[in-house]
Amino acid sequence: MGYENIEFEKDSVFLVTGGAGFIGSNLCEAILNKGYKVRCLDDLSNGKQENVDLFIDDPNYSFIKGDIRNLDICIKACEGVDYVLHQAAWGSVPRSIEMPLFYEEVNIKGTLNMMEASKQNAIKKFIYASSSSVYGDEPNLPKQEGIEGNILSPYALTKQVNEEYGKLYTKLYNLDTYGLRYFNVFGKRQDPNGAYAAVIPKFIKQLLNDERPTINGDGKQSRDFTYIENIIEANLKACKAPKHAAGQAYNIAYGGREYLIDIYYELAKALRKEVVPIFGPTRKGDIKHSNASIAKAKELIGYDPDYSFEKGILLALNWYKENI
């Protein structure tokens, strides 16, 4: 269970792309806490300097400000690295519908640059962030790898293309790639601000400020919310995964199912707030229900998440109360 007992060679070097973002900064922190070297690559377009300033005094930490759309920067960032944890991307389904060309550039070309740079530098393992959005309109639950529907957004398409390139780079170039299909990640340092903020931090911030949150749709959509510590475990276990597990994508979730309206009222109760939400229109490209089978990740990469939604939400709430 967890990742506390996962060990690597003493001088192992990890490159975390998008390391100044929510998921990336948590990965940097966990790896540094285990005593290994971390190199962070981020252009700070989405990530925040304050997320990585926490590590500035750690001699095992270094920062490269750079854009994954630049192949030369990617190659330089991979020099002397053992493991690449590629988190850099632009998220948000609705924003991708407004900006498809930009998403193509960053999420597809940028990821391909990182795979190519990893290949050229003989990286041991290339772990990359995929997404539950690749399931599209496939209605069956739980979501299972190999049973995908029609893609519903440019964002989802970029992640699907990343997975196809991952397969090819394993097959053609012997680069061990592992795609992690994250399901609705939440936890400390997730940004509660902006039009495209994730729902949990947004609800918490609005409730703390006595504002009325807007719920898109009827609130009866369900999600497999996944606490950040489970995501760290999956990344580190993928770095230790057997070669025969490479070239594939894996659901990374807890395997639970929470309804948005229930989460809202649970948060309101925990914060002792009586604020009635506003119900707005359903967002374009959104999937109604999301719940993952994690059997494949358990079997092939040893993923065994410790943090249920209930356990994670208490930790997240405490962090936001202290930091908002």
Of the given ranges (60-74, 78-92, 207-221, 288-302), which has the lowest mean pLDDT?
Answer: 207-221
For 150, half-sphere exposure in the C-beta direction (CA atoms, 13 angstrom radius) is 2
pLDDT band at 1 (very low <50, low <70, confident <90, very high): low
The mean pLDDT of 43-69, rounded to a whole number, is 97
The values of phi and psi at residue 123, to 5°, are -65, 140
Q: What is the pLDDT of residues 213-263, one digit of tens each?
A: 888 888 999 999 999 999 999 999 999 999 999 999 999 999 999 999 999
The model's pTM is 0.95
- Identify the pLDDT of residue 284: 78
| Residues annotated catalytic, as ranges | 155
The first and second tokens of residue 117, run together, are: 């740079």
Burial of 270 (0-12, 13-18, 19+ CB in 10 A): middle
Q: What is the pLDDT of residues 150-160, one digit of tens each?
A: 999 999 999 99
Q: What is the pLDDT of residues 5-35, one digit of tens each?
A: 999 999 999 999 999 999 999 999 999 999 9
Residues facing residue 252 across a β-bridge:
182
Dmax (CA) of the chain:
57
Strands (E), 92-246: 125-131, 177-182, 185-186, 214-216, 222-223, 226-227
Specify the CATH number of the domain 13-186+228-255+286-307.
Answer: 3.40.50.720
Q: How far apart are CA 271 and CA 210, in angstroms?
A: 10
Determine the number of helices (DSSP H) and then strands (DSSP E) in the chain.
12, 13
